[in-house]
């Protein structure tokens, strides 16, 4: 099967660097699939599940914020945070969810606080979603 | 050895020993912090390089000159915004003064405002009466990735509103444990429009080029600020380690020198006593 080169880099380090057969990520305008020979493209990332096929095996990860670029057949995924499904700390994600829900339940919060809490809630839910799916399989 | 009593010398030696102890301890603390900071750099550098490369590629391949961030807004204020990253504490050799003086020299003679990161930067620019954007980032050690992105978003908003014509960042590049160089980098507006060789064809922007730029530029600026912060922190620790190492060596030299003087003074006193006794017995 044909492959393309993929680099996944976050501020915490290089998460993946190698050949891959297919990549699906969540961009701000919806799911986007990349196969070899994709047209040059740039898109901002949303928050959601990313899946990467390497040697016929699919790996999942929680991928939040950042940029996806395809330039001359080279794919660079530069998210703000990227966690492989088996590395997700479920306890922490649950904690974060409860905290975010508590903040949102408070009626006195400012608009900024609300936005932050909403983002935190969403991240926690994505993490838990990806993490659970991994454990069920 | 006339004039300096053995007693005075021992007191000085004792003071020097305790000073040496402090500098030695500071050196060790700085070394361990430096090791951690270096590990951070190693993991964040690829991100820094790739995100910088990506944006340069996009800007170079871009043929739509109407995109935001490629040029300054119309009727923008004639001001440059500087983000200056320095340390929180002194005793780090030339670390703070190098970067602060470099930025100060650049800001002199043009209208500018500064966003200082680190207590030393805040103090330096407020003492010189430069307009400060915010003093919320006085603790350089406590600024994290999230803060960098918040900061980047507010910088981008200012730029888009035309409140400044350029955004620059001044930080210290960690070349090696022994050399750290202060540098300034232009963040906005992006250099672009001139098609670089190799940057082929059109790029598909999803959902639209304006929206893509609106979202990824703040990401990019945040990433660069974070990278610069990591470099600066490592540089600070390296500079402090070097300075403290030199201080410890100087203390060692002085102690050796003073011990010699002390022994001479002691010997002189003994010789004198013997002479007096001999002279006394002969008379």
Cα–Cα distance, B69 to A72 (Å, whole number):
24
Does the CB of A66 have a partner CB in chain B at under 8 Å?
yes
Over the stretch B199-222, which tens digit does the pLDDT of each residue have?
Answer: 455 778 877 777 888 888 888 898
Task: Provide the pLDDT confidence category of residue A88 given band limits of 50, 70 and 90.
Answer: confident
pLDDT of residue B201: 54
Q: Is residue B169 one of the residues assigned to a domain?
A: yes
Do the beta carbons of residue B171 and residue B228 sit within 8 Å? yes
The model carries a pTM of 0.83
Q: Taking residues A54-82, report their average pLDDT.
A: 88
What the block records as the tokens of B138 is: 């006085």
Report which of residues B191 and A69 the model is more confident about.
A69
Task: Provide the pLDDT confidence category of residue A136 given band limits of 50, 70 and 90.
Answer: low
Does the CB of A44 have a partner CB in chain B at under 8 Å?
yes
Report which of residues B144 and B259 the model is more confident about.
B259
Report which of residues B141 and B73 the model is more confident about.
B141
Q: Do A67 and B211 touch (CB under 8 A)?
A: no
With a cut of 90, say whether residue A11 has pLDDT above it: no
Does the CB of A29 have a partner CB in chain B at under 8 Å?
yes
Mean pLDDT, chain B, whole residue set: 85
Taking one residue from A and the other from B, the number of pairs with CB-CB distance under 8 angstroms is: 82
Q: Which of A63-72, A126-135, B97-106, B211-220 has the lowest mean pLDDT?
A: A126-135
What the block records as the tokens of A89 is: 């700390």
Do the beta carbons of residue B115 and residue B132 sit within 8 Å? yes
Q: Do B216 and A10 touch (CB under 8 A)?
A: no
Kind of pairing between the strands at B80-85 and B112-117:
parallel
Q: Do B57 and A71 touch (CB under 8 A)?
A: yes
Q: Is residue B183 one of the residues assigned to a domain?
A: yes
Q: Taking residues B147-173, report their average pLDDT.
A: 88
With a cut of 90, say whether residue B163 has pLDDT above it: no
Task: Give the nearest partner residue to A78 out of B51, B61, B205, using CB atoms.
Answer: B51
Q: Is residue B129 one of the residues assigned to a domain?
A: yes
Closest CA to B6 of B282, B281, B237, B266: B266
Q: Taking residues B79-88, report their average pLDDT.
A: 89
Does the CB of A41 have a partner CB in chain B at under 8 Å?
yes
| Number of domains chain B contains | 1
pLDDT of residue A96: 87
Q: Is residue B126 one of the residues assigned to a domain?
A: yes
The percent of residues above 70 in pLDDT, for chain B, comes to 92
Mean pLDDT, chain A, whole residue set: 86
Contacts of B42 in chain A (CB under 8 A): 13
Contacts of A18 in chain B (CB under 8 A): none
Task: Give the nearest partner residue to A78 out of B43, B44, B50, using CB atoms.
Answer: B50
With a cut of 50, say whether residue B187 has pLDDT above it: yes
Please name the residue of chain B whose CA is at the shortest distance from the CA of residue A31: B206
Q: Is residue B48 one of the residues assigned to a domain?
A: yes
Please name the residue of chain B whose CA is at the shortest distance from the CA of residue A81: B145
Cα–Cα distance, A102 to B259 (Å, whole number):
67
Task: Give the nearest partner residue to A44 out of B47, B51, B212, using CB atoms.
Answer: B212
Q: Is residue B59 one of the residues assigned to a domain?
A: yes
Task: Provide the pLDDT confidence category of residue B26 given band limits of 50, 70 and 90.
Answer: very high
Cα–Cα distance, B249 to B23 (Å, whole number):
10
Do the beta carbons of residue B81 and residue B103 sit within 8 Å? no
Q: Do A76 and B43 touch (CB under 8 A)?
A: no
CATH number of the domain within which B54 lies? 3.40.1380.10
| Domain span holding position B97 | 24-243
In sequence order, what are the residues at sequence separation of 6 or more whose Cβ sits closer than 8 angstroms to the Cβ of residue B167?
B80, B81, B83, B155, B158, B159, B186, B187, B188, B221
Task: Provide the pLDDT confidence category of residue A56 given band limits of 50, 70 and 90.
Answer: confident
With a cut of 90, say whether residue B245 has pLDDT above it: yes
pLDDT of residue B3: 54
Q: Do A44 and B204 touch (CB under 8 A)?
A: no
Q: Do A67 and B54 touch (CB under 8 A)?
A: yes
Q: Is residue B271 one of the residues assigned to a domain?
A: no
Q: Is residue B60 one of the residues assigned to a domain?
A: yes
Q: Which of A74-78, A84-88, B24-28, B168-172 has the lowest mean pLDDT?
A: A84-88
Q: Do B205 and A80 touch (CB under 8 A)?
A: no
Q: Do A67 and B202 touch (CB under 8 A)?
A: no
With a cut of 90, say whether residue B107 has pLDDT above it: no
Task: Give the nearest partner residue to B206 out of A10, A14, A29, using CB atoms.
Answer: A29
In sequence order, what are the residues at sequence separation of 6 or more whose Cβ sits closer than 8 angstroms to the Cβ of residue B13?
B255, B258, B259, B262
With a cut of 80, say whether residue B234 has pLDDT above it: yes
Q: Which residues of B touch A (CB under 8 A)?
A: 42-44, 46-47, 50-51, 54, 57-58, 61, 145, 149, 200-207, 211-212, 215-216, 219-220, 223, 226-227
Q: Which of A48-52, B154-158, B189-193, B216-220 has the lowest mean pLDDT?
A: B189-193
Q: Do B47 and A44 touch (CB under 8 A)?
A: no
Q: Is the dihedral of CA A66, B146, B167, B178 positive or negative?
A: negative
pLDDT of residue B258: 94
pLDDT of residue B1: 43
């Amino acid at each position: 099967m044909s492959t393309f080169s993929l680099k996944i880099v976050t501020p915490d380090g290089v998460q993946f660097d190698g050949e891959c057969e297919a990549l699906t990520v969540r961009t701000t305008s919806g799911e986007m699939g990349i196969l070899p020979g994709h047209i040059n493209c740039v898109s901002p990332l949303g928050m959601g599940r990313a899946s990467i096929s390497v040697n016929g095996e699919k790996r999942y990860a929680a991928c939040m914020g950042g940029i996806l670029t395809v330039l001359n057949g080279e794919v660079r995924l530069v998210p703000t945070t990227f966690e492989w499904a088996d590395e997700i700390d479920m306890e922490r994600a649950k904690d974060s969810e409860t905290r975010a829900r508590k903040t949102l339940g408070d009626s006195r919060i400012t608009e900024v606080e609300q936005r932050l809490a909403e983002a935190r809630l969403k991240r926690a839910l994505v993490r838990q979603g990806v993490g659970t799916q991994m454990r069920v399989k | 050895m006339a004039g300096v009593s053995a007693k005075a010398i021992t007191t000085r030696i004792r003071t020097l020993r305790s000073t040496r102890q402090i500098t030695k301890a500071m050196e060790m603390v700085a070394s361990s912090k430096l090791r951690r900071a270096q590990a951070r750099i190693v993991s964040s550098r690829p991100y820094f390089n790739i995100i910088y490369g990506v944006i340069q590629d996009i800007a170079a391949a871009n043929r739509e000159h109407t995109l935001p961030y490629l040029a300054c807004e119309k009727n923008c204020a004639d001001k440059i915004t500087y983000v200056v990253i320095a340390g929180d504490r002194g005793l780090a050799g030339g670390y703070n003064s190098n970067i602060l003086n470099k930025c100060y020299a650049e800001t002199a003679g043009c209208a500018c405002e500064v966003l200082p990161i680190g207590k030393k930067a805040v103090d330096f620019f407020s003492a010189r009466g430069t307009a400060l954007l915010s003093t919320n980032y006085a603790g350089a050690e406590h600024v994290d990735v999230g803060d960098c992105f918040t900061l980047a978003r507010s910088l981008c908003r200012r730029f888009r509103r035309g409140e400044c014509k350029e955004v620059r960042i001044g930080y210290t590049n960690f070349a090696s444990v022994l050399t750290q160089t202060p540098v300034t980098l232009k963040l906005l507006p992006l250099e672009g429009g001139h098609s670089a060789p190799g940057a082929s064809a059109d790029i598909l922007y999803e959902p639209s080029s304006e929206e893509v730029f609106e979202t990824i530029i703040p990401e990019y600026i945040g990433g660069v600020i974070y990278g610069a912060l990591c470099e600066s922190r490592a540089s600070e620790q390296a500079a402090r380690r070097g300075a403290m190492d030199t201080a410890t060596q100087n203390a060692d030299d002085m102690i050796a020198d003073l011990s010699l003087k002390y022994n001479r003074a002691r010997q002189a006193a003994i010789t004198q006593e013997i002479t007096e006794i001999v002279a006394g017995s002969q008379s």
